[in-house]
Structure 1
Amino acid sequence: MHTVIIGVGGVGGYFGGKIAHSGQKVTFVARGKHLEAMQTNGLEVKSVDGDFKTNSFKATDVLKQVEKADLILICTKSWQVANAGELIKPILKDTTIVMPLQNGADNAEKLCDVIDSKHVVGGLCKIYSKIEAPGIISHFGHPPEIIFGELDALKTQRLQIPKAIFDKAGFLSTISDNIHVDIWSKFMFIATVSGLGALTRATIGEMYQNPETRNIMSETATEIHNIGTAKGVTLPENLVDRIMTFISMQPFDSTASTQRDIMAGRPSELYNFNGFIVREGEKLEIATPTNHFIYSCLQLMENKARS
């Protein structure tokens, strides 16, 4: 089995590194100094679960040099998904599985717009990780896990292909009973803490500890629940309470990657998080005042970063 990793940040670097380290065939598609370091020194992963280094992979920025794939993990930012879908067309076989793992509620739909939907399997991951330096990935929290499933909720035989790859790599993976519910549940958490975290410059623990910001997080999550339900996703009625409990259990000093991007002046996933909820609310005529406020305030920094 040949796995191709598109985007070698905290997510692609960790999970792709684990797959390569287990002796399986992996190609990383990366760029810049990160790519140069990987080509020269291999990929180093510093993990709370144990460090490792691997050289057993191919790393390139030229898709024409990549052998056709059995499994492609799209690990870019959510605003890069459609472009990634265009780029992978030359390495698709009839049976290739394409799985997006970035945060966001509509990444699978973005891929289905640019490649044949038969390739696309819904996915998400749970991990705190980042690029520490070129060629070095830091995994600093949460037991790493990939959750995936067919978009129509069928338990097809082909799902055993990524399951076998992930199991051999040695990290937790779960075939979902309803991947849309799982994606929206993860999205509710990440969108709730990301924008507000960037606006307040506070950690997740600090925001939850403060009654005012905790209430704002609950309002943000409730609006996301309203939008998801209106779009036909069968979200549990108590999901907001469950997400707030999950937030309370996060490491006190943790922050989300989108928050870190905004604070560092880098382009972020703001448009795909709070912005997505605002736009869907306008389409569905559902009020999203809390998400609208957060999105509007942060747009100034986002526009500056993208200019």
Structure 2
Amino acid sequence: MSLKIGIIGAGAIGGYFAAQLVKAGMEVVVLARGKTRDALLKDGLTLTSEKGVDKVTFAAVSDDPAELGVCDAVLFTVKGQSTDQAAEDMRPMIGDDTEIISLQNGLYGIERLAAKYDEGQLSPGITYIPAVVEAPGQVTRTGSLTRTVFGPLHPRDTALHDELAAALQEQGTDAFALKEPMKEIWTKYVVLAPFHLIGCLTRLPVGGWIGTEEMQDLFFRAMKEICALGRAKGADVPDRIAEKQVHFVKTTANPNTKASMLEDLERGKPLELESIIGWVCRESKKSGLDSPIHDMAYALLLAHKDGRG
């Protein structure tokens, strides 16, 4: 069955999935504004990767969500700092049975969506796809990793999730629908925030900082701060996850990989500071935990939060 899929946030990640779903035969509508809207209306979206160049057009592109109409599912892929506004803007696209699938970094976004919508419609997810926006309507995938998982926040029927995952797999995306996605989301978050903060503070890709014992230790201690927070929130996040991640990044990760927050920092764009690193600081304090590495990084990066305008 062809599903009607809304894309909320046609940046690097939203653009990638929008292109893949069009190629899979889905009816894809895009909520976009300004130069991105104009580019998508005029020329569609161009996705460049090691596999070549794909160009797609959409069933509809508009800055008016009512014009796009109610969807079977929406992919919520805006940057963390845009969460609240985008969540309000998309209301006309959300019906009683619309699945809201969040592929944002971190856990802040799903908490904000849960405050605004029925939790029975929410599906948290994560993606490891590295991609950047070169210009409005032009997305480049910068690495070959495509692992993506998503699933319901609370147990329920997953037929739609399974259909979306299968459609994405047919297009070469390593996508999986999980009945209980939160453990894998926490597992990614353990490495996500430390990876972003170290990348931004060193201004280096992973290969530039992971090679010394001192940085490996800093990385490990930052990840343990998140493991402790996860356990305080009732998640199964043992410290051995941090140990495995240090080994993986040291031995297996592409040394040229940059944190997306570092990409934004270098381009003078606003940072997902509050939703990725600030969230750890605030939630740790609420739980009576110390998070000195995240606290330091948050303070040092605060001056860059809003970009260069």
User: When the two structures are superposed, what TM-score results if normalisation uses the length of structure 2?
Assistant: 0.92
Residue type at the aligned position of 1:2: K
Deviations 1:120-139 (A, max 9, x none): 11111120001112221100
For the pair 1:20 / 2:22, whether they are aligned, the reply is yes
Would you say 1:283 and 2:283 are equivalent positions? no
Residues 63-78 of structure 1 aligned to structure 2 (within 5 Å): 63-78=65-80
Of stretches 132-141 and 152-161 in structure 1, the one that deviates more from structure 2 is: 152-161
Q: Give distance in 2, aligned partners of 1:2 and 1:126.
A: 24
Q: Distance in 2 between matches of 1:136 and 1:100?
A: 22
Find the residue that maps to 2:305 and give its secondary structure. Answer: helix
| Farther off after superposition, 81-90 or 146-155 | 146-155
Mapped to 1, the partners of 2:280 and 2:58 lie a distance apart of 41
Q: Please, what is the CA RMSD of the aligned residues?
A: 1.9
The share of aligned pairs that are identical, in percent, is: 27
In the alignment, the residues of structure 1 paired with residue 18 and residue 54 of structure 2 have an alpha-carbon distance, to the nearest angstrom, of 12
Which amino acid in structure 2 is aligned with residue 292 of structure 1?
D
For the residue of structure 1 that corresponds to 2:141, the secondary structure is strand
Partner AA of 1:278 in structure 2: C
2:275 to 252, 272, 276: 272
1:209 alignment partner, SS class: coil
Q: Is the 8 A contact 1:176 1:182 kept in 2?
A: no
Partner in structure 1 of residue 108 of structure 2: 106
- Runs (4+) of structure 1 moved beyond 6 Å? none
Report how far residue 45 of structure 1 moved: 0.5
SS of the counterpart of 1:174?
strand
Q: 5+ residue gaps in structure 1?
A: none
- How far did 1:160 drift? 2.9
Does the 8 Å CA contact 2:183/2:236 hold for their aligned counterparts?
Answer: yes
CA deviation after TM superposition for structure 1 residue 167, in Å: 4.0
The aligned amino acid for 1:184 is W
SS of structure 2 residue aligned to 1:94: coil
- Cα gap change, 1:96/1:243 in structure 2, threshold over 3 Å: closer, same or farther? same
After TM superposition, the structure 1 stretch with the greater mean CA deviation from structure 2, 257-266 or 110-119, is: 257-266
The alpha-carbon deviation at position 210 of structure 1 amounts to 2.5
1:187 aligns with 2:194: no
- Provide the rounded CA distance (Å) in 2 between the counterparts of 1:296 and 1:257: 19
* Cα distance change, pair 68–168 in 1 and its aligned pair in 2 (3 A): farther
Equivalent position of 1:150 in the other structure? 152
List gaps (5 residues or longer) in structure 2. none
Instruction: Give the Cα separation in 1 of the matches to 2:60 and 2:183.
Output: 35
- Report matched runs for 1:158-173 at 5 Å: 158-173=160-175
What is the aligned partner in structure 1 of residue 117 from structure 2? 115
Contact residue 21 and residue 53 of structure 1 kept, 8 A:
no
1:105 Cα shift? Answer: 1.7
Flag the structure with higher strand content.
Answer: 1
Distance 1:61 1:246 in 2: 42
**Which amino acid in the other structure matches residue 268 of structure 1?**
L
Query: C-alpha distance in 2, partners of 1:84/1:285?
Result: 32
